[in-house]
Amino acid sequence: MPSPKNDTFLRALLRQPTPYTPVWIMRQAGRYLPEYNQTRKDAGRFLDLCRNPHLATEVTLQPLARYPLDAAILFSDILTIPDAMGLGLYFSDGEGPRFRRPLREEWEIRNLDVVDPYAHLRYVMDAVSQIRKALANEVPLIGFAGSPYTLACYMIEGRGGTEFHEIKRMLYARPDLLHKILEVNAQSVIAYLNAQIEAGAQTVMIFDTWGGNLSDAAFREFSLAYVERVCDGLKRSNDGQTVPRIVFTKGGGQWLEALAESGADALGIDWSTNLGRARERVGESVALQGNLDPAVLLTTPEIVQSEVKKVLASFGPGDGHVFNLGHGISRNTPPENVAALVDAVHAESPHYH
């Protein structure tokens, strides 16, 4: 299997020279796109989209048809693993993901099993294979999973965006139980991402969406340690090509030095961190991905262009930068502003290479 025709993204993740800064957008296949909303409406529920490889392929490719993005990302959800564990994932309109049976009892935790992706998540690997075929090797495909800690947040709280009282109570009062969950999650994430790699994912990203809610000591023990465990267990290459790993801890700007030692090739950076200073801090160890404030995309093409220039200037000259937002794109984004973003990155970044 040869490199994709456009391999700037994979090269940038490995800090190899590229003629310009590659760009993709977190949640690029999403609700800001009218064609996505139409497909979703036809499919019924969000989970029906994820579970149908044909539809997952269709929506994965939608943003690529509109914009000259340098990567595609598998259309799926970070909660496929706890769903496969039987916790009863559902989405209630406007309220984000929920679990019908969050983990609370010690016996439930003791009985928790590692997910076999080939037994329970074959629909994801089918989607990966099908998307790879549809991409025809034009740009690389990103696979992904939630971090063990972030999955645990949803599994214990039953939902996201809470004050995290349930998981924190367990963390402080019964760390043994939380470690048990995290160990099962780490093994599940390893098996799942390796299966995505075998099915054709050319790089994988670990989303540590909630690691930033932890104290410094707890972050290292309960989030970072398991991200390291995952990186240790991942296949380093497939079909003769290195498979880079991207690690993104939202709100993790204080831990970049530690994250750079996690086994990641690249770190996602949210918009609260100064990208130039982040680069100084991690030195030559990892590439950086980010970090435009997604709210910039709510303005005008001219302002988007001007703010894109600032992000490029903040990273400065040299390789090892993947342009992205500092968090997922908002559903309120006008699609023409995404065009302005991608065009500005491609037009302005060659000066820095």
Under the rule (CB under 8 A), what is the footprint of a copy of itself?
Answer: 163-165, 168-169, 171-173, 212-219, 251, 253-254, 271-274, 277, 291, 293, 295-296, 298-300, 303, 307, 310, 326, 330, 332
The residues, any chain, with a CB within 8 Å of residue 66's CB and separated by 6 or more, are: 33, 335, 338, 339
Pick between residue 103 and residue 191 the one whose CB is nearest to a copy of itself: 103
Rounded distance between C-alpha atoms, residue 156 and residue 149, angstroms: 10
Sign of CA dihedral 245, 40, 87, 251: positive
Length of the chain as a residue count: 353
Pick between residue 3 and residue 306 the one whose CB is nearest to a copy of itself: 306
Token code pair at residue 277 = 């200073």
Token code pair at residue 72 = 């595609």
Nearest distance, CB of residue 160 and a copy of itself, angstroms: 14
DSSP 8-state assignment for residue 295: G
Token pair 């801890």: residue: 249
User: Is 343 labeled as catalytic in the residue annotation?
Assistant: no
Among candidate residues 15, 27, 51, 98, the one labeled active-site is: 27
CA angle 127, 130, 132 (to 5 degrees): 105
Nearest distance, CB of residue 330 and a copy of itself, angstroms: 7
User: Is 98 labeled as catalytic in the residue annotation?
Assistant: no
Nearest distance, CB of residue 88 and a copy of itself, angstroms: 25
Say how many C-beta atoms besides its own lie within 10 A of residue 216's C-beta. 10
Pick between residue 149 and residue 271 the one whose CB is nearest to a copy of itself: 271
Among candidate residues 20, 32, 36, 154, the one labeled active-site is: 154
Residue 299: which H helix or E strand, with range?
none
User: Is 40 labeled as catalytic in the residue annotation?
Assistant: yes
Pick between residue 18 and residue 273 the one whose CB is nearest to a copy of itself: 273
User: Is 172 labeled as catalytic in the residue annotation?
Assistant: no
Nearest distance, CB of residue 162 and a copy of itself, angstroms: 11
Distance from chain centroid for Cα 305: 24
Nearest distance, CB of residue 274 and a copy of itself, angstroms: 4
Among candidate residues 77, 83, 265, 270, the one labeled active-site is: 77
Pick between residue 225 and residue 295 the one whose CB is nearest to a copy of itself: 295
User: Is 116 labeled as catalytic in the residue annotation?
Assistant: no
Rounded distance between C-alpha atoms, residue 340 and residue 180, angstroms: 46
Q: State the catalytic residues.
A: 27, 31, 40, 77, 154
